[in-house]
Amino acid sequence: MKLIAHEITTPWAKIATVLDVSHEPVIIGAGFKPLAKLIKSLPDQYKDFEIKKEPRLAGVRNVVNDWIDGDLDAFKNLKISQTGAEFMQDCWQALRNVKGGKVVTYAQLANKAGRSKAVRAAGSACAKNFVAPFVPCHRVVKTGGDLGNYSYGITLKRALLIHEGINI
């Protein structure tokens, strides 16, 4: 397995990203945290592999720049792989289908993932999303419109939503 990592500067924070480039590039980890912390938090299946830092990974950087420039659905074409139970996978897929500039509630996310009563489990899937913002859990809010939680902080969540035209 060949893994590469890099950071992409955004107006809000750097996005650390790890990709498996053994074949077609697939994002296996991403987040608004230092690259070293992201690498340490990778699932066990990736722990025994050397990760090469690649500062000029143009493909993902171009997609992030497109998102910054206003293509709010730019992330849809990125290849993503996450480890998780079936319902989590369903939630993450449902999140990828939430259009940029829109939000859903945790209850709506649970419904879109096929288990309308699993609202807390939908929240858990957001918390365990290992490839934010490419699986855009920042687009999930509480019923009633409150922001809810975000692994990288409410201030960043609000800034990302404002960037996407949502003022909460």
Catalytic residues: 137
d(CA 166, CA 161): 5
User: Residue 10, Cβ neighbours under 10 Å: how many?
Assistant: 17
Inter-residue contact 105 to 137 (CB < 8 Å): no
Contacts of 34-42 with C-beta under 8 Å, sequence gap 24+, read 35/5, 35/6, 35/7, 38/5, 39/5, 41/130, 42/18
Task: For CA atoms 93, 96, 99, 102, give the dihedral sign.
Answer: positive
* Half-sphere exposure (Cβ direction) of 112: Cα atoms closer than 13 Å: 20
Structure token pair of residue 49: 């592999």
User: How far apart, in whole angstroms, are the C-alpha atoms of residue 130 and residue 120?
Assistant: 18
User: In Å, how far from its chain's centre is CA 137?
Assistant: 6
